[in-house]
Amino acid sequence: MAYANKVQLITYIDRLGGSDTQALHSVLKQNFPNAFGGVHLLPFYYPMDGEDAGFDPIDHTALDNRLGSWDDIQALGQDYDLMADMIVNHMSAQSNPFKDVLAKGQQSEFWDLFLTKNKVFPAGASAEDIAKIYRPRPTSPFTTLPVGNSGATEDFWTTFTSNQIDVDVTSQQGKDYLERILQAFAQNNIKLIRLDAAGYAIKQAGTSCFMMEETFEFIQNLSRRANELGMTCLVEIHSYHKIQCEIARRCDLVYDFALPPLVLHSLINQDFAPLHTWLEMAPKNCITVLDTHDGIGIVDVGAEGEQPGLLTPEQIDTLVEKIHENSHGESRKATGAAASNVDLYQVNCSFYSALGSDDYQYLLARAIQFFAPGTPQVYYGGLLALENDMDLLAKTAVGRDINRPYLTPEKVQEAAQKPVVQALLKLCELRNTHACFAGEYSQALNADRYTMAWTQGTETLTLTIALTDLQATIVSGDDVYTLAEWLN
């Protein structure tokens, strides 16, 4: 393992109490000195403030100079295992290579770098072909743009937005582009790579263009090259839970995206059976999350055709409505048609607000996450148990901004003193230091309690939750803690 099995932080460099990488480094040292073994730095490439908050890079190998330099990233990497996003599927329409393509068409030296409809469907695409394409959003997968000076147009593949032009990763130019990114990471102390939207990277006519056998091969080859350079790859894909298990068997790491909705369902309904079922089969080579820079995923617990999901459609509908209720309707304003970045599979809401800003239930949710198999990540807004940022949502009208706040150093210091945050930091310390988390996981569910346990040699660490009132106890040898006490 190229990284420490300790709690990781997910954050933007400029949103957690500072404006650049050096400031973030100081904030972490001053406020959370022993909380994290690793930090996932959300896109810091030029520009960090594009249409999709850095996920539409103009130059994927250049640090936005407003955030500092690669030297600053290297320095941060001396204290933390750093994770960076590798946006394999697309780059910005504002990039110089794509501008050259628009100006010169097929005469551009960069023509082979980008994917067009004609490259995948040289004989044309039928309505049936288009309908088969798996879509993360309800828009067309293509954007028609003028190229050259002849008045000709070209349908460019744009899986996400018209400003995110898909890269032809099967071309030599596409392969060279990805290699340059890997080299930049390897030279600057990056230990983990999050492969963003990798499931969409390979397109073939007559298929869903999502997580095909060829996609697995692409991810495996890319991961192998990263491994050769001393890095580990985390595949970021929202999909049916059995597909996630298959991905895990063939990749370094996957996300446990089913965990957030299952934890919410468990606490809201005091029904731990779906969570228990999932953790019996869930991959162990995973990164666990409750919250990220995106919304709370729903597709990960849903059905796939005739195959049942981890939750029934009725349970999912009830859960989504309860999130809207707990957040006093705020999440409804940021989700679906209400948001300018319409996602088909996410509810946009902070996890703390999704639980009705209930300190105890929030702390219990984190305890469940930390005891679940995998390496836990905590989003910066979740670290500080923040509610929805309705002011930012109103300003940008971008649904996911409800959970992407900009925090001053004073706001960080103030929030860090909240009892729920101090209790969460105690949980981080337990997860980072207890030897049992390097052992074997087991669980048990009966009529009145749910138990999650880790055993290393003769020592066992357990989290036991009473189903009647959700009171939780942590037992380590002769030491017994009630979770509620940590809030006092």
Numbered residues of the known binding site for substrate: 52, 90, 194-196, 236, 293-294, 343-346, 400
Active site residues: 196, 236
d(CA 248, CA 284) in angstroms, rounded, equals 8
Which of left, alpha, beta for 116 (phi over 0: left; psi -120 to 50: alpha)? beta
d(CA 17, CA 406) in angstroms, rounded, equals 8
d(CA 83, CA 234) in angstroms, rounded, equals 9
Q: Which of 203, 87, 85, 219 is nearest to 135 (CA)?
A: 203
d(CA 349, CA 331) in angstroms, rounded, equals 5
Residue 110 dihedral angles phi and psi, to the nearest 5°: -105, 10
Tokens of 137: 């959003």
Instruction: HSE, CB side, 13 Å, CA atoms: give it for residue 328.
Output: 8
Cβ contact 237:227 at 8 Å: no
Tokens of 134: 């798996």
Cβ contact 383:9 at 8 Å: yes
Tokens of 23: 């400031």
d(CA 98, CA 78) in angstroms, rounded, equals 36
Report how many helices (DSSP H) and strands (DSSP E) the chain contains, helices first. 18, 21
Cβ contact 89:201 at 8 Å: yes
Cβ contact 362:463 at 8 Å: no
Which of left, alpha, beta for 263 (phi over 0: left; psi -120 to 50: alpha)? alpha
Tokens of 161: 């937005």
Cβ contact 32:402 at 8 Å: no
Angle 260-449-487 (CA atoms, 0-180°, nearest 5)? 65
Binding-site residues sit at 52, 90, 194-196, 236, 293-294, 343-346, 400
d(CA 102, CA 162) in angstroms, rounded, equals 14
